[in-house]
Structure 1
Amino acid sequence: MAGGNWSATDLPVLPGFYMAFRSAATAAIGQGARGTVILPVKAHWGPVRQIVELANENEAIETFSADDSGGATAYTTLKFALLGGASKLLAYRLTDGTDAKASITLTDNATTPAEVLKLEAKYSGERGNKFRVTVQTSAADAGMKELKLYEGTKLLRTFTFADGSVQAAVEAINGDAANKWIVATKTDDGNGTLASVTGAVLTGGKSGISGIANSDYISAFAEFETQSFNTVALDGVSDAALLASAAAWIARIREEGAGAVLVVGGSAADDKAADAVSKAIARSAGFNSEGVVNVGTGVKLAGVEYSSAQTAAYVAGLIAGQSLNQSTTYASAPFEDVTRRWTRSEQEQAVRGGVFLHIHDGRQVKALRGINTLVTPGENQSNAWKKIRTIRVIDTINSDLQRTAEDHYIGKVNNTEEGRLALIGACKQYLQTLAQAGVIEAEGYDVYVDPAFTPEPDQVFLKWEAKLTDVVEQIFGTFVVQ
């Protein structure tokens, strides 16, 4: 899908829909669904180096487990993104390549036992080492056997099959649609009867977490480019070199037309350091990008403290999940407190320095002001580009326009007066939708052929004029006492 920004001095060569936003002109066509966050995670279970779609916390637990010990991050990261309001998560499990599946090989009951049935965890990871199996004759039918699968003391599943048939055991296990834990393989015929065992433990499961490097995240970014998403956050990582690589990646894909925002944060130590304010501001200054949001403080939830880097997943969910006419400014949060309460003057520094801050106002935790790390606007940008809402609107508009153009116009409509009028009519219709939703001002928007360019026979240069709305963030009043 070609698209992105364009320059009058360097026109693209690929067929596609290209947008150039200016501070006085933004627009869009056919609103698309929002709410998708993509996240790299570390886990003791689940598909490896695959993008998995999740819609709720139960799916996250079922896919990656709720175990965040030993460096695992999946549960907290995914839970925070959902708390923020993401409607869909795309998760990608990282490993260092040493991950392995737990397994056990069962024998027959011959005098000299033969290994006849291998049971292997469905996924690599240490979770598989908690599985144990019991094989016994069925109490209900002496001609049947039962293989019971436990995780610790919890019974996960009972598989019943004909005694005397290893193949029947394989079919019972692999053919059970509700079996999400083990895979069976026949290794030998043996004497045809599985030996009874009690609490035999699967072993050898490795999660592949300890050796995960920045290069593994960078490889994940390449996979992310095949997906459509609104925001991306790391799984609590605050390494400066990785954050710089992530910011460079997000800048590139934004230039290529992908309207995505990266949300990052700092370590727990940095969040509570004596110079925490200057550290957070310096981190934002290093990005200075409308496509990067830097979270400045950690939070407390259910008595547990989380760093600003971990809180980034929540903010990513918040940004992605909001509608176009909403703002993250003063958005209430589900946390009981922040790990460091910034003073009034520090909060002012945060706003000026491009730091997204959570504060406790004496009653609740809420976002201070919905800003990204853009401190010094670049060419063709205004101060409005510092607002998360502005970028969210621009990105959504760009995505909607590009999708509609590709689906209904590019390669399908003749570049005639009639064809151009059809395209312009669709553009105006969408602007009307945005105006009715309060995203742009209801008066003064327009779409027309841009007379500043002389197009080739297969080119159309359009110009949109609209004024973005904003939310009330500051109220100034004068109280006259008489």
Structure 2
Amino acid sequence: MLGGGSFTAQNKILPGAYINFVSAASSVAVLSDRGTAAIPLEFGWGPEKEAFIVTAQDYQERCQEIFGYPADAPQMWMIRELFRNLTKGIFYRLNAGVKAACDYGQARYSGVRGKDLTLVVSANVDDSTKFDVRTLLDRKEVDHQTVAAATELTDNRYVVFKKDATLAATAGMPFNGGTDGDAVTGEDYARFLAKMESHTFQTLCCPSMDDAVKAVFAEYTKRMRDEAGVKFQTVMYRNAGADYEGIISVENKAAEQEQGLVYWTTGAQAACAVNKTNENRVYDGELTVDVDYTQGQLSAGVRSGKFMFHRVSDDVRVLMDINTLTTFTEEKGEDFSGNQTVRVLDQIGNDIASMFNTKYLGIMPNDDAGRVSLWNDIVTYNKELARLRAIEAVEAKEITVGRGNSKRSVVVNCPVTPINCMSQLYMTVVVS
């Protein structure tokens, strides 16, 4: 019998055909999706002290199940502001209070929203030994079960039933005692930030007005960007002194909630494409924006690193898509103050790191062939960015991948020039 099968080394004894089937190496040029933000909330419903993910589709189809309120409820304004642009939100409820309850059940989550629940128990018209148990929220039915005893009840999205209760007909048993809990502290925000270290997002929302909390968010952003290599930007209210490309400081007040514009800005920044800018973008939210600024104040605000809105005819628009970086160095010039530049560089950093970690780390040998493969992937990725007009075209020969100081390391040099959208027009008209 002849030998056969696959081979690792050319050391077979028997004659035969030894054939390996492998896929041709393919270059990757996949840009990671944008549109994800991390948001801490003080709310009257929802999972307490844990992260939960909501996509734009979830929000559209199951808003009340998730947040406890329909999308058009007054309590939902900040969620609406976010999802005008957001494709995915990583939410975290900061507060935890008391769960509302009645004799037959307890609200699934703590908060004042639980007090809007009512249970209605009535005899079943077809079987007198059974009961119809209806869960109402704002007097609208959200669940209906027919059971012989409480032990048969299945917990629903809003109520955890008391299985040891004795069912009896009732016209309506309201829930009582639900509270939102104590005021949120800096510790609550710190726990939120710790939870976010295991998630991936483009923007982080800081809705707090407390300077100490804003300082914690700023330090967290710097540590994650500069030490952990996790690239995102944090949106907060009036902290232009941060002087850092990772911090966006919203300057304008909103009448409904002073710092309310951080929510729309968080969503808009997260969802902005790598080859786009938010500059001159129309604010399409529902807040009343204070745009009472002179041209001099707007110019001074831009020089100070403030993200500002201004009025153009009947519209409220973003003045310039900038962050708080105002101190420029040889390593970080003025270009780094523009969020479009930062978006491009962050996208490259995150995508190349992801590609290396999934395709090369612990998998690809660090030899000439392995480094050529990595070089080819990086070149292909940069060509895709150039095709999207996010960066200037890169000469392949300018990108280098070499062996590092150890057998396990590689050193990559990848010069890029981000492209920005047109912002200023200087034109001379010669009249003859």
Same fold per superposition (TM over 0.5): yes
Aligned equivalent of 1:185: 162
Task: Write the letter of the residue equivalent to 2:356.
Answer: A
User: CA contact under 8 A between 2:53 and 2:90: conserved in structure 1?
Assistant: yes
- 1:415 CA drift (Å): 1.1
User: CA contact under 8 A between 2:264 and 2:285: conserved in structure 1?
Assistant: no
Task: Write the letter of the residue equivalent to 2:107.
Answer: A
Aligned equivalent of 1:361: 312
Q: Which residue, 258, 270, 288 being the options, matches 2:243? A: 288
User: CA contact under 8 A between 1:356 and 1:371: conserved in structure 2?
Assistant: yes
Aligned equivalent of 1:216: 188
- 1:158 CA drift (Å): 2.3
Distance 1:470 1:32 in 2: 20
Task: Give 1:44-123 correspondences, 5 Å limit.
Answer: 44-56=44-56, 57-58=59-60, 59-66=62-69, 75-83=76-84, 85-95=85-95, 97=96, 99-105=97-103, 118-123=104-109
Q: Which residue, 201, 221, 224 being the options, matches 2:174? A: 201
Distance 1:423 1:199 in 2: 67
Q: Which residue, 322, 336, 348 being the options, matches 2:272? A: 322
Q: Aligned in 2, Cα 1:362/1:30: closer, same or farther, shift over 3 Å?
A: same
Question: For 1:169-198, what per-residue CA distance to the aligned partner results, in whole angstroms no more than 9, with x for missing partners?
Answer: 332333xxxx3111123226xxxx632222
Task: Write the letter of the residue equivalent to 2:399.
Answer: V
Distance 2:134 2:164 in 1: 20
Aligned equivalent of 1:480: 430
- SS of the residue aligned with 1:149? strand
Question: For 1:454-474, what per-residue CA distance to the aligned partner results, in whole angstroms no more than 9, with x for missing partners?
Answer: 621111111112221111100
- 1:389 CA drift (Å): 0.7
- SS of the residue aligned with 1:173? coil
Distance 2:110 2:354 in 1: 38
Distance 1:332 1:357 in 2: 12
Q: Aligned in 2, Cα 1:64/1:141: closer, same or farther, shift over 3 Å?
A: same
Distance 1:149 1:66 in 2: 15
Task: Give 1:282-431 correspondences, 5 Å limit.
Answer: 283-285=239-241, 287-299=242-254, 305-307=256-258, 309-335=259-285, 338-378=289-329, 380-431=331-382
- SS of the residue aligned with 2:291? coil
Aligned equivalent of 2:152: 171
Verify: 1:227 aligned to 2:177, yes or no: no
Task: Write the letter of the residue equivalent to 2:313.
Answer: G
Distance 1:392 1:243 in 2: 22
- SS of the residue aligned with 1:421? helix
Task: Write the letter of the residue equivalent to 2:393.
Answer: A
- The one of the two structures with greater contact order (alpha-carbon pairs below 8 A, sep at least 6) is 1
Distance 2:36 2:74 in 1: 19
Verify: 1:239 aligned to 2:210, yes or no: yes
User: CA contact under 8 A between 2:63 and 2:70: conserved in structure 1?
Assistant: no
- SS of the residue aligned with 2:260? helix
Q: Which runs of 5+ in 2 are unaligned?
A: 1-27
Aligned equivalent of 2:5: none
- SS of the residue aligned with 1:200? strand
- SS of the residue aligned with 1:338? coil
- 1:156 CA drift (Å): 2.5
Aligned equivalent of 2:400: 448
Distance 2:169 2:154 in 1: 17
Q: Aligned in 2, Cα 1:187/1:161: closer, same or farther, shift over 3 Å?
A: closer
CA RMSD of aligned residues (A): 2.3
- 1:406 CA drift (Å): 0.7
Aligned residues: 398
- SS of the residue aligned with 2:302? helix
Q: Aligned in 2, Cα 1:186/1:225: closer, same or farther, shift over 3 Å?
A: same
- 1:60 CA drift (Å): 4.3
- 1:351 CA drift (Å): 1.1
Aligned equivalent of 2:145: 159
Q: Aligned in 2, Cα 1:412/1:171: closer, same or farther, shift over 3 Å?
A: same
Worse-superposed segment, 375-384 or 465-474 = 375-384
Distance 1:400 1:48 in 2: 32
- 1:443 CA drift (Å): 4.8
Task: Write the letter of the residue equivalent to 1:172.
Answer: L
Q: Which residue, 232, 250, 265 being the options, matches 1:260? A: 232
Distance 2:134 2:169 in 1: 11
User: CA contact under 8 A between 2:81 and 2:285: conserved in structure 1?
Assistant: no
Distance 1:216 1:379 in 2: 38
- SS of the residue aligned with 1:132? strand
User: CA contact under 8 A between 2:245 and 2:342: conserved in structure 1?
Assistant: yes
Q: Aligned in 2, Cα 1:426/1:143: closer, same or farther, shift over 3 Å?
A: same
- Same amino acid, percent of matched pairs: 25
Question: For 1:154-178, what per-residue CA distance to the aligned partner results, in whole angstroms no more than 9, with x for missing partners?
Answer: 232222113xxx2xx332333xxxx
- 1:75 CA drift (Å): 2.5
Aligned equivalent of 1:110: none
User: CA contact under 8 A between 2:204 and 2:233: conserved in structure 1?
Assistant: yes
Distance 2:210 2:409 in 1: 45
Verify: 1:125 aligned to 2:111, yes or no: yes
User: CA contact under 8 A between 1:29 and 1:397: conserved in structure 2?
Assistant: no
Q: Which residue, 207, 216, 221 being the options, matches 1:250? A: 221
- SS of the residue aligned with 2:263? helix
Task: Write the letter of the residue equivalent to 2:109.
Answer: Y
Question: For 1:259-305, what per-residue CA distance to the aligned partner results, in whole angstroms no more than 9, with x for missing partners?
Answer: 11100114xxxxxxxxxxxxxxxx312x0000000011034xxxx63
Distance 1:74 1:377 in 2: 42
Question: For 1:104-151, what per-residue CA distance to the aligned partner results, in whole angstroms no more than 9, with x for missing partners?
Answer: 22xxxxxxxxxxxx4111111111122122222123433321122222
User: CA contact under 8 A between 1:149 and 1:155: conserved in structure 2?
Assistant: yes
Q: Which runs of 5+ in 1 are unaligned?
A: 1-27, 106-117, 267-282
Task: Write the letter of the residue equivalent to 2:153.
Answer: A
Task: Write the letter of the residue equivalent to 2:151.
Answer: V
Worse-superposed segment, 344-353 or 72-81 = 72-81
Distance 2:269 2:334 in 1: 19
Question: For 1:192-249, what per-residue CA distance to the aligned partner results, in whole angstroms no more than 9, with x for missing partners?
Answer: x6322222222222221x42111111111000111111101123x2111111111011
Task: Write the letter of the residue equivalent to 1:284.
Answer: A
Distance 1:324 1:352 in 2: 24
Task: Write the letter of the residue equivalent to 1:55.
Answer: T
User: CA contact under 8 A between 1:43 and 1:73: conserved in structure 2?
Assistant: no
Q: Aligned in 2, Cα 1:152/1:73: closer, same or farther, shift over 3 Å?
A: closer
- SS of the residue aligned with 1:318? helix
